Chains A and B, each alone.
Chain A
Amino acid sequence: MEPTPRPLSPHLGIYRWQVQMVTSILHRLTGIALVFGSLMVLAGLFALAMGETSYTAFQHFSASPLGLILLVGWTWSLVFHACNGLRHLLQAAGVGFATVVFIRNSWLVIFVSLVLTILIWAWVIFGGAL
Chain B
Amino acid sequence: MNDLRTPLARVHGLGSARDGMRPWWMQRLTAVALLLLGIWFVVSVLLLLRSGYVAAHLMLADPLNAVLMIAFTTALFWHAQIGMQVIIEDYVSTRWLEVVLQVLVRFLAVLGALASAVAVLRVALGY
> In the assembled complex, how far is the CB of residue A26 from the closest CB belonging to chain B, in whole angstroms?
13
Interchain CB contact under 8 A, B53 and A124: no
Interchain CB contact under 8 A, A41 and B73: yes
Q: Mark B65-98, 1 if CB is under 8 A from A, else 0.
A: 0000100010011001001100100000101000
Q: Interface SS of chain B: helix, strand, loop or mixed?
A: helix
Q: Interface SS of chain A: helix, strand, loop or mixed?
A: helix
Among A28, A39, A42, A123, contact of B87 (Cβ-Cβ < 8 Å):
A28
- The answer to whether A39 and B52 touch (CB under 8 A), given A28-B87, A82-B38, A86-B35, is no
Q: How far is the CA of A89 from the CA of B29 in the complex (A)?
A: 10
Among B49, B76, B87, B118, contact of A41 (Cβ-Cβ < 8 Å):
B76
Interchain CB contact under 8 A, B83 and A48: no
Q: How far is the CA of A20 from the CA of B72 in the complex (A)?
A: 29
**A67 CB–B CB distance under 8 Å:** no
Interchain CB contact under 8 A, A59 and B119: no
For the side of the interface on A, what is the size category? 20 to 34
- The answer to whether A45 and B112 touch (CB under 8 A), given A55-B53, A78-B42, A120-B46, is no
Q: Mark A116-130, 1 if CB is under 8 A from B, else 0.
A: 000010011001100
- The answer to whether A48 and B77 touch (CB under 8 A), given A42-B112, A42-B116, is no
- The answer to whether A38 and B115 touch (CB under 8 A), given A32-B87, A55-B56, is no
Interchain CB contact under 8 A, B53 and A56: yes
| Contact residues, A20-70 vs B (CB, 8 A) | 28, 31-32, 34-35, 38-39, 41-42, 45-46, 48-49, 51-52, 55-56, 59
> For residue A123, which residues in chain B have a CB less than 8 angstroms away from its CB?
46
Interchain CB contact under 8 A, A89 and B115: no
**B123 CB–A CB distance under 8 Å:** yes
Interchain CB contact under 8 A, B116 and A41: yes
Among A34, A38, A51, contact of B112 (Cβ-Cβ < 8 Å):
A38
Interchain CB contact under 8 A, B116 and A35: no
Interchain CB contact under 8 A, B38 and A35: no
Q: Mark B4-32, 1 if CB is under 8 A from A, else 0.
A: 00000000000000000000000010011
Taking Cβ atoms with an 8 Å cutoff, the residues of B that contact A are 28, 31-32, 34-35, 38, 42, 46, 49-50, 52-54, 56-57, 60, 69, 73, 76-77, 80, 83-84, 87, 93, 95, 112, 115-116, 118-120, 122-123
List 7 A-B pairs, Cβ < 8 Å. A28-B83, A42-B115, A45-B119, A48-B57, A52-B54, A56-B53, A86-B35
